[in-house]
Structure 1
Amino acid sequence: MNRTRTPVRTRTAIRRRTAAAAVLAAGALWLAGGAGPASADEGDGGDGGVHLLLNSAFDNRPGELVDIQVQGIRGHGDVTVSSPVFARPVRLAPDEDGHHGRPAIAMTTEPGTYPLKVRAGGRIVAEERVEVKPSERPSFSVTTPGQVLRPGERLWMAYDDLYPGETGRSFSVHSPAFRAPVRLTHDPSSTDWNNPRLFSGAAELPPGTRDGTYKVTLYGAGGRVVDEKPLVVRAARPGDRDYVGRARGPAFFDARAETGPEDARAHGHRVPAGGTVNVLWRDRSPDRGEEERLTATSPAFERPVRLRRDDSKAADGDDPRYFAPARIRRGLAPGSYEVTVASHHGRVTKVGKLQVTAGAAGASGRGDGDGGGPGASATTVAYVAGGTTAGVLAAAGLGALLRRRAAR
């Protein structure tokens, strides 16, 4: 699902629109041949082409920055900007585009609309207006209201304390849903450049995060708890718009060298007690990290079996598939036994039936694998090698050796 920023993004969008309006207004001034009561000819001997560009001239809070660019002033001398919103006149610095500055609106500024004047050579060469709105209390943002995150998803957090009296410089976020605490920092080159007290950071939820509501705690200097927010995590289920899995299985095939996943059957497969059977699982789009967690369980198995990705050429063009050999318990009573595989963080659980017959020495499907995954047993190694004649003979020779030992 798409990454969702904090509500600060909404305010940023407003600034972009208002900044665009400011640029358009400045464009109108260009067409008029300048701005303000004095012309560029009067101010600096130019051709009347003084251009004033304000970014973030509207919808400002006390403490936010106003980006000021003045173009078209020739000659040397100070270029200054004055306004009741600034604590003192601001001297602009020369740059390749003219003169530039980024002063902050004084924290004591009351809501209202204020004039802004540009002076060059002791004369006013351009004017604009700056709007200021009331201060806002500090806010900690984790998710938008009602948002649910998926395991493995990236989470953005922000703390905005642009408010009179706030002076903290170090903030961190802790949660049982995170691998480690997350430090929030200010990035002056971000899209929120005009807010000098916006601290942000990101955390990636581990792919195995369980469904639930987690507490996300913001800490300030000295371990002081600043704020807490809830975080809801839930894996995608079949029917959800962002669920992309298509799990199939479990299915079963013999642990003989001449058989493979293409021979697997979901129903009716028979294996003797004490024998070995390969468990197969397919999924078009597994969850992130799931390849290390897929496990098949059954009361018929000696132990749960970790399924491994089939990376052989035989799997080319197929949905991702996973299989591993499972040893059937010795002395198990004949009958039908359930085999369960859970995926997509437990939201997709499928059960297959395996027919266990009476055990017999040398029975089909018997192997010496340890249930460790493809390649763990001699028979599986023969399959991965492509089912070559040498592999089949090696498996047959191993079976004969075992029978001779059993006969002693």
Structure 2
Amino acid sequence: MNWTRTAGSVLGAGVLWLACGAVAQPAAAEGPGTVHVLLNGAYDNRPGELVDIDVQGVRSHGEVTVTSPVFPHRVRLAPYHVADGRGHHARPAIAMTVGPGTYPLRVHVGGKVVAEDRVEVKEAGKPVFEAGTAGDVLRPGERFPVSYDDLVPGATGDAFTVTSPVFRGPVRLVHDPRGGYWNNPRMFTALVAVPHDAKDGTYKVRLTGPHGEIDEKALEVRAARPGDSDYLGRARGPAFFAPSGSPQVARKSGHKVVAGGTVNVLWRDGSPDPGEDERLTAISPAFERPVPLKRDESKAGDGDDPRYYGPARVREGLDAGRYPVTVVSHHGRVKRTGHLLVEAAAQASGGGPDRTLLIGGVSAGAVAGTALGVVLVLRRNRARTAGQAPAGVSQPE
């Protein structure tokens, strides 16, 4: 008997039996350990806040619901597609009547509890109005957050506005359901900029709603003064690099560009003035127009001082030479000038006939000359051969 063949046959049958058995087994039903629930906002909730519920691992197509004493009724979750199947999601609000404590939360599928978690609730707060950070001094041009949180029983309306003598005009506060306060449906916010020409002083910021004035805060504004770390910042530049290059290789002087070409102008500042992201400009008699310098928000800027750059178009027909490029920042307190080397178009191309055509013409001439020489040599050899007989053959007299 061939034991090797027999053993292989038995092993193959065993593998086939295991495979068939694996295929024949029914899928596991939902239950504890197979369904996972993730609660975003399960801790330190106030009555009225939203809880983000995400359930994954449900294999059946039955209704998925959640129950908890913190919700006024059973919550039905909406299905959505994920890479390995389906998920279920909802964002219910905690009832305004719920007191402080820890409450159970259960996930149901087909009438069966398949997962559990807990929701913690703290005491309801009072309405809070904030304008910036208490004790902070704002610079002209600086942006600061304004918010009003009135997540309290009975609060209604959404028409909230802040005004101040230092603002250009009234500013409307709105709720952003996709922002950082998505879980608080009664959080209204705005980002406000102090005007660049604001005078030093303390200003009142008033909050008004549907029924009149609600609250007010004090806002201190003061421009940087000599001795302040941000008075002159830590400005470096301007420097230059090619459109296809990188800010890391920028040079403050010695960079060359042809007339009619483009060059990037770079500016760095370790402590820029507030609002300079929209105001920095590079000017030069070599440029077609002033160049706005925009802040570099790419990952390449991580770990570096804030940097700004923009493409500048060099005027066509410009004479070759060394041209100044100037950037003014910090409300005119900082002025830096770099120099750009401009080459005339004719100079950049060599200033004479096209070298490619010359080389091509010389090469073509050399080839033609060589061919003519070969023909002449062949003709000469034929003539010479015609006058001689092969070896062993007599020439006729």
Q: Into which bin does the TM-score normalised by the smaller protein fall?
A: 0.5 to 0.7
Q: 1:81 aligns with which of 66, 69, 74?
A: 66
Q: Contact 1:310 / 1:320 at 8 angstroms: preserved in 2? A: no
Question: Does the Cα contact within 8 Å between 1:138 and 1:160 map onto a contact in 2?
Answer: yes
Q: Aligned partner of 1:75: which letter?
A: S
Deviation readout 1:320-344 (Å, 9 max, x if unpaired)? 49xxxxxxxxxxxxxxxxxxxxx95
CA distance 1:160–1:286, change in 2 (3 Å): closer
In the other structure, the counterpart of 1:235 is 223
Cα separation, 2, equivalents of 1:158 and 1:287: 24
Q: Is the 8 A contact 2:30 2:114 kept in 1?
A: no
> Distance in 2 between the 1:164 and 1:136 partners?
10
Describe the shift of the 1:152–1:80 C-alpha distance in structure 2 as closer, same or farther (beyond 3 A): same
Question: Relative CO higher for 1 or 2, CA cutoff 8 Å, sep ≥ 6?
Answer: 1
Asked if the contact 2:105/2:119 (under 8 Å) is kept, the reply is yes
Structure-to-structure mapping, 1:1-400, within 5 angstroms: 44=29, 48-96=33-81, 97-222=86-211, 224-244=212-232, 311-313=284-286, 316-317=324-325, 320=328, 344=331
Kindly provide the amino acid, as one letter, of the partner of residue 142 in structure 2.
E
TM-score (norm 2): 0.53
RMSD: 3.2
Residue 76 of structure 1 and its aligned partner are, at CA, apart by 1.9
Q: Is the 8 A contact 1:142 1:155 kept in 2?
A: yes
Q: Distance in 1 between matches of 2:188 and 2:275?
A: 30
Residue identity in the other structure for 1:61: R
- Give, in whole Å, the separation in 2 of the partners of 1:246 and 1:69: 48
Relative to structure 1, the CA distance from residue 47 to residue 54 in structure 2 (aligned partners, 3 Å threshold; closer, same or farther) is closer
2: distance between equivalents of 1:99 and 1:173? 40
1:181 maps to amino acid: P
Distance of aligned partners of 1:165 and 1:150 in 2 relative to their CA distance in 1, 3 Å threshold: same
Aligned counterparts of 1:165 and 1:315: Cα–Cα separation in 2: 68
2:139–2:274 CA contact under 8 A, matched in 1: no
Contact 1:151–1:234 at 8 Å: present in 2 too?
yes
Tell me, what secondary structure is at the counterpart of 1:316?
strand
Q: 1:315 to 1:218 in 2, by over 3 A?
A: farther
Q: Give the drift of 1:46.
A: 7.1
Work out the percentage of aligned pairs sharing the same amino acid.
59
C-alpha change, 1:179 and 1:239, in structure 2 (3 Å) is same
Structure 1 residues 319 and 80: alpha-carbon distance in aligned structure 2, compared to 1, 3 A threshold: closer
Q: For structure 2, which runs of at least 5 residues remain unmatched after alignment?
A: 1-26, 236-268, 277-281, 287-321, 334-397
Specify every segment of 5 or more residues in structure 1 that has no aligned partner in the other structure, as ranges. 1-39, 248-283, 291-308, 322-342, 349-408
Deviation at 1:140, TM superposition (A): 0.7
Q: Is the 8 A contact 1:286 1:344 kept in 2?
A: no
- Residue 178 (structure 1) shift: 0.8
User: Contact 1:236/1:344 (CA < 8 Å) preserved in 2?
Assistant: no
Matching residue's letter, 2:225: R
Match of 1:360 in 2: none
What amino acid is aligned across from residue 229 of structure 2 in structure 1? Answer: R
Q: For 1:234, give the aligned amino acid.
A: R
The one-letter code matched in structure 2 to 1:110 is G
- Aligned-partner residue type, residue 105 of structure 1: I
How far apart are the structure 2 equivalents of 1:136 and 1:69? 27
* Contact persistence 1:136–1:162 (CA under 8 A): yes
Q: CA deviation at 1:187?
A: 0.4
| SS of equivalent residue, structure 1 residue 99 | strand
Deviation larger for 155-164 or 311-320 = 311-320
- Aligned-pair CA distance for 1:154: 1.1
Conserved 8 A contact 2:283-2:325 = no
- Count of residue pairs the alignment pairs up: 231
1:66 Cα offset (Å)? 0.4
1-structure distance, mates of 2:54, 2:155: 29
Q: Distance in 1 between matches of 2:184 and 2:204?
A: 27
Structure 1 pair 242/126, CA: closer, same or farther in 2 (3 Å)? same
Match of 1:32 in 2: none
CA distance in 1, matches of 2:231, 2:131: 23
CA distance in 1, matches of 2:38, 2:234: 55
- In structure 2, how many angstroms separate the alpha carbons of the residues matched to 1:201 and 1:319? 32
AA in 1 matched with 2:48? G
Asked if the contact 2:162/2:208 (under 8 Å) is kept, the reply is yes
Residue 95 of structure 1: SS of its match in structure 2? strand
Three-state SS of the structure 2 residue aligned to 1:75 is coil
Q: What code does the residue aligned with 2:197 have?
A: G
Contact kept? 2:101, 2:121, Cα under 8 Å: yes
Matched position secondary structure for 1:128: strand
* Aligned residues of 1:46 and 1:73 also touching (Cα < 8 A): no
Report the CA distance between 1:143 and its aligned residue.
1.4
